[in-house]
Amino acid sequence: MAFAFLGISAPAFWLGIILIIVFAVNLNILPVYGRVAFAYKPIHITGMYVLDSILSRNWPALKDSLLHLILPSISLGAAQAAVITRILRSSMLEVLRADYVTLARTKGLSEYVVITKHALRNALIPTVTVIGLQIGMLLGGNMIIETIFGWPGLGRLVVTSIFNRDFPVVQGSVMFYALIYVAANLTVDILYTYLNPRTTI
């Protein structure tokens, strides 16, 4: 829980800077800038380096691109992970007070099964909504993280084009955001019907 709170409270960009200072500068383990070292750049198939390196069986490139993924993902993901932790915890607390959990215990099920099978299924319902929204948000790109880690991403593109008054680009990216949001919500709704049999599409 402490981790969860820290994750929400630390602004993502500051966390990124801290991680850079700690890992890359002082400990020199993880790479800081860019998506992959120039020497390892895989052949361009899809444009996504991890996928390309798997497809072209370029294992050094795979390792390198994965390493480059670690720090940005942690800075971006810490806050989101914290949000999910919080929501899941509070819905679990509510679910564990319910009568059907007591029934499951009365049936003689082990505590592990009670929690993972009976309680979790029900607690995931509100959590999945949040996850869906977050996926939409994350795919939308976070400009600051991209700037800090030097990833040429959608966020940076949009902001630059806003400043340059390049409106067609802004239009296109707005369309893209809307599309992702709708897709994420649709996925969440479909998952919902699987989790909660009372709802139908």
Partner 1 sequence: MLKIHNLCTNFFTYRGTVKAVDGISLELKEGEVLGLVGESGCGKSVTLLSILGLVPYPGKTTDGEVWFKGENLLEKSSTEMRYFRGNKISMIFQDPMTTLNPVFHVGEQIRESLKVHKHGRISKRNKKEKVFQLIKDVGLPSPEQIYSQYPYQLSGGMQQRILIAIALSCKPNLILADEPTTALDVTIQAQILDLLRKINKDIGTGIILVTHDLGVVAEFCQKVAVMYAGKIVETGLVDQIVYEPKHPYTEGLLKSIPKIGNKKNKIHSIPGDVPDLATLPKGCAFYPRCSQHMPKCQKNEIPLQKIEKGRQVRCLLFKEL
Partner 2 sequence: MAKLYITKRNSYKNIKYSKGKIYWKRVKQFIKELIRCRTAFLGAIIVLSFILIAILAPFVAPHDPLKASIVNRLRPPFWIEGGSSTYLLGADEIGRDILSRIIYGARVSILVGLVTVAISGFLGTLLGSFAGYFRGRFDAILSRFADLLLSFPYLIFAIFLMSIVGPGFFNLIVILCFKSWVNFFRLSRGEMISEKTKEYVEAAQALGESDIKIIFKEILPNIIHSLLVLATLRVGFFIILEASLSFLGLGIQPPTPAWGSMINSGRAYMLSAWWVSTIPGIALLILVLSINLLGEGLRDILDPRLKLE
**Residues in the site for partner 2, rule: CB under 8 A?**
5-6, 8-11, 13-14, 17-18, 20-21, 25, 86, 90, 99, 102, 133, 136-137, 140-144, 148, 155, 158-159, 162-163, 170, 174, 177-178, 181-182
Interacting partner of 121 out of partner 2, partner 1, none (Cβ under 5 to 8 A depending on kind): partner 1
Decide which of partner 2, partner 1, none touches 175; Cβ closer than 5 to 8 Å per partner kind: none
What is the nearest approach in angstroms of partner 1 to the Cβ of residue 191?
13
Smallest CA-to-CA distance from 95 within 67, 119, 60 is with 119
Q: DSSP string spanning 135-191?
A: HHHHHT--HHHHHHHT---HHHHHHHHHHTT-HHHHHHHHHHHHHHHHHHHHHHHHH
Nearer to partner 2, 36 or 135 (CB): 135
Partner in contact with 92, chosen from partner 2, partner 1, none, beta carbon below 5 to 8 Å by kind: none
- Contact residues: partner 1, CB under 8 A: 98-100, 102-111, 118, 121-122, 195-198
- Largest CA-CA distance found in the chain, in angstroms, rounded: 66
CB of 135 to partner 1, least distance (A): 23
Q: Of 15, 68, 33, 50, give the one whose Cα is nearest residue 7.
A: 15
Tell me the closest approach of the beta carbon of residue 89 to partner 2, in angstroms. 10
Buried-state track 148-183, b at ≥16 Cβ within 10 A, e below 16: bbebebbbbbbbebeeeeeeeebeebeeebeebbee
C-alpha to C-alpha distance for 115 and 123, rounded to whole angstroms: 10
Minimum distance from CB of 11 to partner 2 (Å)? 4
